[in-house]
Copies of this chain bind each other. A is one copy, B any other.
Amino acid sequence: MAYTLQQLSDFEDIRTLKHRYFRGIDTADTALLAGLFTDDIYVDYRGGNYRVNLTGKDNMLEFLANSFHANAAAMHHGHMPEIALTGLDTATGIWYLEDIFINLEHKTHTVGSAIYKDEYRRVGGVWKIARTEYDRVFEVIRPLPGNAQLTAHHLGKAGRQPGELTDISAFISWTEAA
């Protein structure tokens, strides 16, 4: 059995959608991010010491702008997609995340991985992320080593500065270590 041209094209476009998401968050590219979500996006990220839970594109954009701020250096790489088309304009995707998150204020260095389960919807001809969840596979948090030199830091310029942050406590809760 072979896929159709349309199905193969959908695989390509859905992958590119998610690729843009990861590039957008780590570089605080709000213009890019604004086009990637359905208005009713549902998010549930179950991290090791946090949980993100929110609904709606505006909330998502505000959450992201506050999380990838000028005191953070972040790398979120989504790998090894398993995309399935579930209708003409709907699809699911599994992705395997590797992330590094350096918090310069708290001086912590987190490395982790997670499995995403996503749903995508085509809206006005364009694939969007409609639902996204993940569960951690592993997460290790360490103090940022004192002898580490941060020699490049794009978010330092592109991310929100401390005075620009807003309250996102409605979207994220912090839990004890597992």
Contact = CB atoms under 8 A, between A and B. Distances in A.
B148 A142 contact: yes
Nearest to A158: B137
A138 B153 contact: yes
A88 interface: no
Contact of A140 (B78, B150, B178): B150
Interface in A59-94: 73-75, 77-83, 94
Given A138-B152, A140-B148, A149-B141, A9 B3 contact: yes
- Copies, count: 3
A81 B17 CA distance: 10
Interface string A1-35: 11111101101100010111011001100000000
A157 B79 CA distance: 24
Contacts of A49: 151-152
A137 B1 contact: no
B3 A102 contact: no
A171 interface: no
A93 to B, nearest CB: 11
Interface residues of A, number: 62
A142 B150 CA distance: 9
A145 interface: yes
Given A98-B98, A138-B152, A141-B151, 8 more contacts: A2-B4, A16-B83, A75-B138, A77-B96, A138-B154, A138-B155, A143-B147, A149-B177
11 contacts: A4-B5, A19-B96, A23-B96, A47-B152, A73-B140, A136-B152, A137-B154, A138-B154, A140-B150, A140-B151, A150-B178
